[in-house]
Amino acid sequence: MKKFPSFQTILILFLIGLLTSCNSGPSKQTAAGEALGTTYNITYYSEEDLALDIALDSIFERVNQSMSTYREGSDISRLNSGDSLVKVDTLFRNVFRLSEKVYMESKGYFDPTVGNLVNFYGFGPERSEKILDTASVDSLMQYVGLDKISLTEAGEVKSTASAVYLDFNAVAKGYTIDLIGHYLESRKVDNYLVELGGELLAKGENLEKAAPWTVGIDDPEQQAENRTLTAAVKLKDRAMATSGNYRKNRIDPATGKMYVHTINPLTGYAEKSDVLSASVLAENCALADAYATAFMAMGLERSNEMLSKLETVDAYLIYAKEDGSMGKYATAGFEEVLVDLD
- Cite the annotated binding site by residue number: 170, 289, 293
Torsion over CA: 267, 172, 203, 206 (sign) = negative
Q: What are the binding residues for Mg(2+)?
A: 170, 289, 293
Q: How far is CA 217 from the centre of its chain?
A: 14
User: 54, exposed or middle or buried, with CB in 10 Å at 0-12, 13-18, 19+?
Assistant: exposed
State the helix-helix crossing angle for 90-105 and 52-67, rounded to 10 degrees: 60
Which amino acid makes up residue 286? A
**40: helix, strand or coil:** strand
Distance CA 321, CA 329 (A): 12
Distance CA 273, CA 300 (A): 8
Q: In residues, how long is the chain?
A: 342
**Cβ atoms < 10 Å from Cβ of 211:** 11
